[in-house]
Amino acid sequence: MLFSPQATPDVATLRKHSTFYLIWGIVLLILGIIAISAATVTTLISVIFLGFLLFICGVVIIIDSFTSWWHRWNGFWLHLIMGILYLILGVMLIKSPLLGSISITFLLGIFYIIIGAFRIFYSSSMRALRWGWVLFNGIITLLLGILILMSWPGSSLFIIGLFVGIDLLFAGWAYIMAALGARSLSKT
């Protein structure tokens, strides 16, 4: 079975990469603290960044429409319209990050519920080294998703930055605990 509870982690690989896990965990922890302390700024930056990504995707899809689909009329119009929609959505998020944050907050709540459930399932089925921390991270992520949807749309300006920061904080802590666990195995 792929998710067997009896699956044991590759201890040698964990030990070998424990320094990377520790550094990555510290980086995530610091980023989480920064995101929490500047939640409104984090929210606006996240929405604007997403807008730029969608804008760039729209440009690429429009160029692809004319280079790859120009003589295939059945696919050309579909790709062109899709590129234009990406472009428009990107511009909307860049020009109005506050309104964008309201929509994204709703989607983020749904996303965290799904990711939290996946982390809970993964940690309890794989039971990797220090799996309880991953389980704890999954529970926190699931609760964040529920809290987002309960407070939506009233707190959309700061909730994205706050909850992304909290998730980064706990993900960093889980990496740090896994690295320390791997190091303690190497001493015994």
pLDDT digits (tens, 9 = 90+) for 161-180: 887 898 899 999 988 988 88
Residue 136 has pLDDT above 70, yes or no: yes
pLDDT score at 72: 67
pLDDT score at 159: 84
pLDDT score at 188: 57
User: How far apart (Å, rounded) are the C-alpha atoms in residues 73 and 51?
Assistant: 29
- Residue (of 159, 160, 128, 123) closest to 138 by Cα position: 123
Give 187 or 105, the one with higher predicted confidence: 105
User: How far apart (Å, rounded) are the C-alpha atoms in residues 179 and 160?
Assistant: 28
Average of pLDDT values for 68-75?
72
Sequence-distant (6+) residues with CB within 8 A of 141 are 112, 115, 116, 119, 167, 170
pLDDT score at 111: 92
For residue 134, name the pLDDT band (cuts at 50, 70, 90).
Answer: confident
The enclosing H or E element of 11 equals helix 11-16
pLDDT digits (tens, 9 = 90+) for 75-131: 788 888 999 999 999 999 999 999 999 988 898 889 999 999 998 988 888 776 677
pLDDT digits (tens, 9 = 90+) for 1-46: 344 444 455 667 777 888 898 999 999 999 999 999 999 999 998 8
Q: State the pTM of this model.
A: 0.62
pLDDT score at 8: 53
pLDDT score at 10: 67
